[in-house]
Chains A and B, each alone.
Chain A
Amino acid sequence: MSDRNLTFVRSEMLPAREPPTNQFGIVKLLREKLFNNWLSALLTVASLIVLVWIAGSLSPWLFNSVWSANSLSECRQILGGAEGACLAVIRDRWTQLLFGFYPPAQYWRPVLAFVLMLVAMAPILFPPVPRRLLWFSAVFPGLAYWLIWGGTLWLPVSAYAGLAVGGVVLRLTTRLGSGVAVGLAFAGALAWGFLASGLVTTVIEQLLPLSLPAVTSREMGGFLLSIVIGVTGISLSLPLGIVLALGRRSTMPLVKTVSVVFIEFIRGVPLITLLFTASLLLNYFLPPGTNFDLILRVIIMVTLFATAYMAEVIRGGLAALPRGQYEAAEALGLDYWKAQRLVIMPQALKISIPGIVNSFIGLFKDTTLVVFIGLLDPIALSNSIRATTDWQGIYWELFIFIGGLFFIFCFSMSRYSMHLERRLKTDHR
């Protein structure tokens, strides 16, 4: 008996049949996800009601928006009693919300600084960008300072010269032991700053004047101010936080105590009291007659604040690292700093990425608190716009603009941190 004679065996496949109607598509979604029990059904209905309510109350307001008017009353006239957003205020005042009272002829300077900042961040944030660009990242802070505040270019150049002096001293004295070398390099840089820098700057400026019109800190405001304070605070708080976290885990009781007291004090008081200290009390703590820029004071305070939080985040990462890593590094004969740099920190920082980025986002949002000490951040400017006769009584449009910009910055930071976590993931579990 051969198979050929069996007539009931099919020689070709049947076409696939459609699954039952309740097993795919919208019906399945409805049955299994949206209305699978009474609680879920209730929640679905409730969220649909919320969505419809939000869309229903927002969309006429947004679609009716007026983009060209010179005052709120003109806006209302155009709308003729209908509900509508008066986005003309954004069109009228967006430069102010972005730059504060920065001289309009000089707007190109902060814009250029912002673009250069993106260029400078690229090699740090994205590895495909050539490493050689890192030298630009190092040069950028001085360049940005010169672009935004103006004055002579030779001032930041001289500051970099101080760093170079420190570097040379470090290279020359490194045989004396790392601690001594670092101390001497520091002293060398300070000596340059105090003794030579001023003279050199004036002399070169006279020989080769390269300066932009100076802009005072009082004229800066808006998102320019937020970004200046935020970016400076972020880039300073990470290295300082690492040092402080190491200090807190140190075996030297004095260093540990100092770090703990500093961290717990800063974390225990609201940022706003520290900002008030910067604006009201710093004059008490400095030698009589000294007075320096309010923005600089705020940056110092915000940095100290963020540093304490950063130290705690990094301490968490250090604590999460298995002890074997420390022991293995010691067994390889690495000294403390080499072990930290090559073995411990790369892993600890990777563990603490979410915390670090959260702390960055928090810092950037906290820059709005400077409104309380009279700096013109976007919120202060929205208050001052509302105080003018033209735009008295306008709230939501300004809030939406400011909130939207903050959302874009913070949301992209959190997305980048997720991307970074995925990129650095090395475990294959």
Chain B
Amino acid sequence: MANAITFSNREPHRAFRLSMLLNDSRYRSYTIQIFVLMCLMLGIAWLVDNTVRNLALLGKDFSFSFLWSTAGYDINQRLINYDTQMTHGRAALVGLLNTVVLAVLSCALATIIGVAAGVLRLSGNPIVARLMTVYVEVFRNIPLLLWILVFGAIMSEAVPAPNAFKGENATASMIFGAVAITNRGVFVPEPLFTRDLGTLNLGIIQPSLSVVAIVVVVILCWLVHRGLVRHAERVQSQTGVRPVTWWKTITVLSGPPLLLLWALGFHLGYPELRGFNFQGGLQLRNALIAMWLGLGIYTGAFIAENVRAGILAISKGQSEAAHALGLRRGKTMRLVILPQALRVIVPPLISQYLNITKNTSLGLAVGYMDLRSTLGGITINQTGRELEGMLLLMLIYLSLSLTISGSMNAYNARVGLKER
């Protein structure tokens, strides 16, 4: 009787009927996809047709030639040469650089604040932990735009004017005689070179050759240091004895850069009060400071939560196991806890960096001249090229975002748990 039931692993072959397109799961997915494709094509055709007809009605064409016409407006913060006679494209580039600078500065500030707050929130000290909880909750639950405006108002209303630094009985004073916080901006010392190497002409940008030289030397020193460490590891794995490297590392990392700085005649130019305002030094405008503090402290609250979650995600058994192996506290942290916690922390951290980059577009609120204010603001208003300008703006933001998230995916692939 055991053979009464026979199994066939081949489905009975039936003739194809039209209703199978809907009822047979083998064919239904094709039906659905063709339907979706048709809807998509129709939708796109409809949008493109509307756009073409609207452009024709307005007597406009679709071209990016406005990027090469004279901009005619000033940008108050510029990292590369720019004046009002240059092109809209150049203005957009200045704005893009401002966006990137603000994003990088804010990411650094947010990381520092976030890591500190996240760790302190877990500390056994109840006062500190409560204080950090209050910080996180207050900043997370109030819109970023309001914080940016608050910091903007602090910078314009609550800090002294430059003339408060003046005279015998000045009501304000510079911090360490080097940094002046005024309602016209923050003045900090600027790096100067007595034997400057001039600038490197690359066409679009002209970077200072001295800065380029310093960056190159630092990178080279870092590579040499990496080589030293790798050599030490090789020796250790062969002989079991690790060669002493600390003095070599210090020499390699600090020697050549310091020598180069000395050769270039590096010194700091301090801001000085002359007339009604500070002269010399580097002026960081209030818009930059307000955006930087707003973005940094606001996003820091989110990063604090990510850090806390990351540390809590590592089970206690891990540190106990490390102690059982005889690792000391520092090594336990460095070799066991941190690598695992970082795997949890870094992906949301990078997505916070992504948020910072996108949120720099709020610079408009305090008059920060970022990409949104130059290309997406004044340029569009002057040339009337909303369609092209917004498209370009979105594409640039999209490529920034995709670059950042691409780096995140690469990191995830490198540190992710390798499972079966």
Contacts and interface: CB of A to CB of B under 8 A. Distances in A.
B288 to A, nearest CB: 18
Interface string B124-163: 1111100100000110111111100110010001000000
Contact of A288 (B53, B123, B124): B53
Interface stretch (A71-79, A195-203, A396-404): A396-404
Nearest to B359: A270
Given A264-B402, A273-B393, A406 B146 contact: yes
Most buried by A among B40, B372, B394: B394
Given A43-B128, A269-B401, A369-B362, A281 B386 contact: yes
Interface in A5-49: 29, 32-34, 36, 40, 43-44, 47-48
B143 A406 contact: yes
B120 interface: yes
A177 B36 contact: no
Chain A interface, >50% SS class: helix
A284 B402 contact: no
Given A44-B125, A255-B32, A399-B150, A288 B394 contact: no
B141 A410 contact: yes
A293 B32 CA distance: 34
B84 interface: no
B144 A365 contact: yes
Nearest to A280: B386
A47 B131 contact: yes
B263 interface: no
Contacts of A288: 50, 53-54, 57
Chain B interface, >50% SS class: helix
B29 interface: yes
Contact of A365 (B23, B126, B142, B364): B142
Interface in A151-191: 177, 179-180
B123 A43 contact: yes
B51 A284 contact: yes
Most buried by A among B33, B128, B372, B401: B128
A34 B28 CA distance: 67
Given A51-B127, A251-B29, A369-B362, 19 more contacts: A40-B125, A44-B128, A179-B28, A252-B33, A270-B358, A270-B397, A281-B387, A285-B47, A285-B51, A287-B53, A288-B50, A288-B54, A365-B141, A371-B145, A393-B157, A402-B146, A406-B142, A407-B142, A410-B141
**Complex A-B, nearest 4 residue pairs according to Cβ-Cβ distance, in ascending order:** A410-B141, A268-B401, A365-B143, A270-B358
Interface of B: 22-23, 28-29, 32-33, 36-37, 40, 47, 50-51, 53-55, 57, 120, 123-128, 131, 137-138, 140-146, 149-150, 153, 157, 358-359, 361-362, 364-365, 372, 376, 380, 386-387, 390, 393-394, 397-398, 401-402, 405
23 contacts: A34-B126, A34-B127, A43-B125, A43-B127, A48-B127, A50-B131, A51-B127, A51-B131, A179-B22, A269-B394, A269-B401, A272-B361, A272-B362, A273-B372, A286-B50, A288-B50, A288-B53, A371-B365, A379-B149, A393-B157, A395-B153, A399-B146, A399-B149
